[in-house]
Amino acid sequence: MLHFRKSLYRLLETTTGKRRGIELAFNLLLITIITLNTIAIVLNTVPEYNRQYARLFTDFELFSVSFFTIEYVLRIWVCVENEKYRHWFWGRIRYIFSTSALIDFLAIFPFYFTLFATDLAIVRIFRLFRIFRLFRISRYSHAFRMIQSVVTDKKEELILSTMLVIFILIIVSSVMYYVEHPAQPDKFSSIPATMWWGVSAMATVGYGDIHPITPLGKLLGGITAILGIGLFALPTGILVSGFNEHIREHKPPQRKVCPHCGKEI
């Protein structure tokens, strides 16, 4: 039994290194089910598909939830193989509240919630959390961890530049409100309403449903757009310096030897 648990642990949690046939097959199965699940959730909202294939969607959802529930229970059972969750009771409790287990729980939770409680649209969104599973099993886990580590390293700078964007957004929108409100009182009706213009101008989206028409408003809109160019540059600069640092630190240093005297330099 304990040996079986160990094998199962390796099957479920192995994300790196050489994988044998069965682990590869299990991973492919998981990728297939998750991808089909995502497609099913998305297509289920299209009225004609919903009507035509209602039965298929329900059955597939039932199968998926069963599959993920069994997998979830098994993961809790085998998690004690991990050094971090060794204790038979507290280890499992701690595992249940780890990020990845919580995501797994949220992915199956909506089914049981709608079964026993009312059917809330917002709850159904959690089913999409199944997508995040792909990051754990994918062969891109190396690249994913690299990106994750860079983002974590530069967390403060990224939060700060997001704060900066929001502060500039508030100020630009407030000024724009006082400038454009007299000319378009229905569109620039309040600062929060103007912020919808502001965010779409600064992120250079520009839906066109709201834009300044007065000369002063257009001047301010132009300055905002040019400012937006700079706002794209800031997070890029932060991430780039993060990537560079990461590579410099994680690369094996090149050993250099003088070809004449044979000593290392």
Positions in 209-228 near a copy of itself (CB under 8 A): 209, 211, 215, 218, 221-222, 225-226, 228
Using CB under 8 A as the binding rule, the residues of this chain from 131 to 170 that contact a copy of itself are 131-132, 134, 138, 140, 142-144, 146-147, 150, 156-167, 170
Cβ nearer to a copy of itself, comparing 25 with 213: 213
Using CB under 8 A as the binding rule, the residues of this chain from 50 to 109 that contact a copy of itself are none
Instruction: Name, in order, each residue with C-beta under 8 angstroms of 197's C-beta and a sequence gap of 6 or more.
Output: 173, 176, 187, 188, 210, 211, 212
Residue 217 is inside which H or E element, if any?
A: helix 215-250
Contact call for residues 67 and 75 (beta carbons, < 8 A): no
> Taking the complex as a whole, how short is the minimal distance between the CB of residue 93 and a copy of itself, in angstroms?
28
Nearest Cα neighbor of 65 from 3, 17, 110 is: 110
Burial (CB count within 10 angstroms: exposed 0-12, middle 13-18, buried 19+), residue 194: buried
Measured CA to CA, the distance from residue 158 to residue 239 in angstroms comes to 8
| Sole window of 2-10, 45-53, 56-64, 77-85 interacting with a copy of itself (rule: CB under 8 A) | 45-53
Cβ nearer to a copy of itself, comparing 20 with 222: 222
Using CB under 8 A as the binding rule, the residues of this chain from 227 to 256 that contact a copy of itself are 228-247, 256
Please report, as a single letter, which amino acid is at residue 166. I
258 binds a copy of itself (CB under 8 A): yes
Nearest Cα neighbor of 165 from 222, 224, 221, 242 is: 224
41 binds a copy of itself (CB under 8 A): yes
Candidate residues 16, 208, 250, 252; the one interacting with a copy of itself per rule CB under 8 A: 208
Length of the chain: 265
> Taking the complex as a whole, how short is the minimal distance between the CB of residue 136 and a copy of itself, in angstroms?
13
110 binds a copy of itself (CB under 8 A): no
> Taking the complex as a whole, how short is the minimal distance between the CB of residue 71 and a copy of itself, in angstroms?
20
